[in-house]
Structure 1
Amino acid sequence: MNTRSNIVTAGQSLIGQKGFSAVGLAEILKAAGVPKGSFYHFFESKDAFGVVLLNEYFESYHANLDHLFAKQGLTAAEMLMLYFSNWRENQGLEDCESRCLAVKLGAEVSDFSEPMRSALKTGTDGIISRLATVVQAGVSDGSLRVSQTPTAVAASLYYLWLGASIMVKISKSHDPFEIVLTNTRQTLGIGASN
């Protein structure tokens, strides 16, 4: 792994645990095992680093979604329920670290960093777009019955799950995920067995 990748990987882990504002550059560089000058060789500021961090996070997230949604032998309904089941498992963990940067940083950085807010918007739009494509496929293959456009359904479900992820952290309970899972099935017009 190269120096830039070491810094990004260390930053994702630390910021995923503590948040953007709570982690200083010295802590990131110590975890990455690189000197301070190396940071400014690759990143012009901490905000610029945050944009790179988010872009790489979403690039990986989108690639994982593309891989999941390309699985053969599954209906669109099964793909979506697998996605939300994976979300429930990964976001519910105490140490979700870099797996939940959108949840961790969304509210924190959007008010003080326009470049990071924009990276979050682009990344989350990419997720919603992919979900909408699968919802459309589900309408076509008959595995989903929705009352809104695929894009509206995808956005509504993504927003719902983001909110539930925050409530899981607040309540220290998986109950919010159970509630939104039921709502997701109803929104998609699928039974509890899928």
Structure 2
Amino acid sequence: MEYTSKSRRLDDWSNLTYSKPMNDKTNDTRLHVLDVGYQLIVNNGFNGVGLSQLLKEADVPKGSFYHYFKSKEQFGEALIQHYFETYISRVETILVHGEGNHYQRIISYFTRWSQIENGTCNAHKCLVVKLSAEVSDLSDPMRQALLKGAEKVTHTIEQCIVGGIDDGSIKLEESQETAQNLYSMWLGASLLSKLSQSSRSLESALNLTQQILKGKN
């Protein structure tokens, strides 16, 4: 398999010897490897996780890994796609099917984001925050997967803003730009929170979100 110069800069697992792929494994194994990979990578970074660690934690042989993923880069791309499939479903639970008016749903969503990123809730940490800076210059397929997923999240936020404008709970005229600005602000606040080891930037982002949606900014 040929690799681009970007691919060579990743921690390459493809040259390791491995046994013949196990064709009797079901898709459950693939999902299991992705789920374990998420837990490792969201805490340690993409390049901070090696194949041996992943196989040990997932309790699967090398052949099982290479049956589903030809390289670490392909695994990373699949991981991002799988993450967003699950994440979008959770976002829609709050923004599309949640209780309260659309303003309350958006505030609930970003409150949940704040709790996750500052450690109050220790599950479902944002993979975009963890990987964007790390892999965007190393792997174009992974960068594209991150971008497409982020665009889906932004679109879901935008549709909730539109609903809030319609029901009168959100005092804005521009939904698309507002959704993009809010998502960008929260990504930045999450990065600052990690740098400062403080929740102050997340608290400020939540306060500013409330002001923006009420037309006070």
* One-letter identity of the residue aligned with 2:179: A
> Which deviates more, 160-169 or 2-11?
2-11
Give TM-score, length-normalised by structure 1.
0.92
2:129 equivalent to 1:129: no
2:208 is equivalent to residue 183 of structure 1: yes
Q: Percent identity?
A: 37
Residue 153 of structure 1 corresponds to 178
> Size of the alignment, in residue pairs?
190
- Name which of structure 1's ranges 63-72 and 103-112 shifts more when overlaid on structure 2: 63-72
Q: Which runs of 4+ in 1 moved over 6 A?
A: none
- Which segments of 5 or more consecutive residues in structure 1 lack a partner in the other structure? none
What is residue 112 of structure 1 aligned with on the other side?
138
Structure with the higher fraction of residues in helix conformation: 1
The alpha-carbon deviation at position 70 of structure 1 amounts to 3.1
**1:61 — aligned with what?**
87
Give the C-alpha shift of residue 2 in structure 1.
2.6
Contact 2:46 2:131 in 1 (8 A): yes
**Greater Cα shift, 75-84 or 88-97:** 88-97
1:150-180 Cα shifts (integer Å, max 9, x gaps): 0100000000000000111111111001111
What amino acid sits opposite 2:140 in the alignment? E
Q: d(CA) in 2 for partners of 1:94 and 1:143?
A: 28
Alpha-carbon distance in 1 for matches of 2:138, 2:121:
26
Mapped to 2, the partners of 1:96 and 1:20 lie a distance apart of 19
With the length of structure 2 as denominator, give the TM-score of the two structures.
0.83
What RMSD in Å do the two structures reach over aligned CA positions? 1.8
